[in-house]
Every structure is written in structure tokens, then in C-alpha cells.
Amino acid sequence: MKKITIQLFIILFFFYGKAVAQQVFLEKVNIEFARTVTVWPLLKEMDPSWYEQVKSNYPQESVNYYSFVSDGKKSLYKQSKEAQITRNSILSYFPNENVIYNDYSNSTTVSQKVSYGENFLLQDSLLNIRWQITPDTRVIAGFECRKAVGVIYDSIAVFAFYTDEIKVSGGPEGINGLPGMILGVGVPKLHMTWFATKVNIATDTDIRSVTPATKGSKTNRSKMVSDINAATQGWTWGRKVFMALLL
């Protein structure tokens, strides 16, 4: 018995030492994200009186799943499992089926953004986010992540948790630009969070699927933003839906 304990101890020590000495940095990853919409407070902010009438028809939370596949240089983010959404529900207007292709070496993106009957094919540089780095950390899917707080388009606050153990500067939707992979995102205005539920090593088949979407009306970021701004003038509910499109 004693022998076994000592052996185990040695093995553990050996592995520990190895882990410290040879930290593994991942590059080829296939990450599953769960996007959770906290429905009730979202509806309440959209229209308090309407919320009182309809809240019983809505679930408190709605979860969609997405896959993020990358070889370290480029990545593809798309829906893998959709949430149970009742038809005509307000939730179906939010962009649930974006397909985001990012090329980190050239800093470009091809994003297919689908919302509210619109289908954009955005071709531009990567989304530029002003990130503020914080000392807070938490563990997501087994990775220790650091919290950063960002502002998109000078108006949308996001908080993100990234890990430097994955050498991809990407994240869910178009969120990127941190010194590591973003495994958790929260957008308080939209009552939405994205958290990685699984991190796998990407297979070659996975990597081959990393190709940009081709369908949609071609646009660039500034045009999309100004189109959305013009159409949602004085329509704050719509702004909320389209805000999700800007991510």
C-alpha cells in the first residue's frame, strides 16, 4: 500500500513538473460556445408594460450553441444547435445565425449577418474594440481566463474573458483583439452571454470547414452601421436587435 502511494506521488510529481516545464499552447481548436439570453430582463427593458403581459409565454433563458474552429490564423464561428424558440417570438428577430470568418494574419473578416429579414455579407477589417484589461480572472472550460472590458462602436460595453493558453486572438461572434482566445463574453445591454462549454483540438476535417460564407448583400462596416443607424432612428427596440448584429 505504502509503495503504491509513493509511486503515485512520484508519477504526480513527474507530471506536475512536466506541466510546468512544457506548457501546451493550443492553436488548432474547436470550441463550443453556449449563448444564453436572459429573456425576461431583456423584454422588460424593451417594453415594461408588454413584458408583464407576455412574460409567461417566454422562457426565462434561451440558449443557442455555436462552434468556433480555428487553426490559429483564421477561424469560423457559426451556429451548431439552435434554441427552442417559439415562432414569431421576439427572440427570433435577434441574429441567431451569424457566420463569422476571421483572418487574423491579414486582420480581415467576412461576416454573414442575418437578422430581421436582412442578410448582410460584411467584408472589412476585424472589429476594432478598445479593450481595458483587468486583473480579475475566472476559470472557463478548464482554462484560467482574464477579464477585459471593451467598448464597441463607442457605445456597446462588453466584458470578455480570454485565456493566453490558446494562441488565437478570436472569440464568439466578431469579438476579438485580446492576447488570447476569448472563452467568455457578456453584453449587459443585450442580456446575452457566451461561454465556452467544450474546448477540443480541431481535426483536419474541422480545419477544412473554415471557409467564409458567400451569400448576402455585400457591405462594409461603416455602411452597415450607418444603414442601421438611419433605419433605427427613434426606434430603440430595433436598435437593440441590430446592436446584436454589430457584434
Rule CB under 8 A: which residues touch other proteins? 19-21, 23, 25, 45-47, 49-50, 56, 82, 84-90, 92-93, 114-119, 130-135, 144, 146, 148-149, 151, 155-157, 159, 163-165, 167, 177-180, 188-189, 227-228, 230-240
Question: What are the distances in angstroms from CA 19 to CA 11, 15, 135, 140, 143?
Answer: 12, 6, 24, 19, 14
Closest CB 205 distance from other proteins, rounded Å? 26
Asked whether the beta carbons of 8 and 26 are under 8 A apart, the reply is: no
Q: CA 241, 245, 247 angle in degrees (round to 5)?
A: 120
> Based on CB atoms, which residue is closest to other proteins, 105 or 117?
117
Instruction: State the residue for C-alpha cell 428577430.
Output: 93
Instruction: State the residue for C-alpha cell 494574419.
Output: 105
> Based on CB atoms, which residue is closest to other proteins, 36 or 92?
92
> Based on CB atoms, which residue is closest to other proteins, 103 or 118?
118
> Based on CB atoms, which residue is closest to other proteins, 11 or 142?
142
Closest CB 237 distance from other proteins, rounded Å? 4
Closest CB 158 distance from other proteins, rounded Å? 10
> Based on CB atoms, which residue is closest to other proteins, 33 or 143?
143
Closest CB 159 distance from other proteins, rounded Å? 7
Distance, in Å, from the CA atom of 79 to the CA atom of 182, rounded to the nearest integer, reads 17
Closest CB 139 distance from other proteins, rounded Å? 12
Asked whether the beta carbons of 215 and 119 are under 8 A apart, the reply is: yes
Asked whether the beta carbons of 234 and 71 are under 8 A apart, the reply is: no
Q: How many CA atoms lie within 13 A of 96 on its CB side?
A: 21
Strand, coil or helix: what is 164?
coil
Distance, in Å, from the CA atom of 84 to the CA atom of 138, rounded to the nearest integer, reads 29
Element (H, E) at 218: strand 217-219
Closest CB 33 distance from other proteins, rounded Å? 20
> Based on CB atoms, which residue is closest to other proteins, 27 or 32?
27
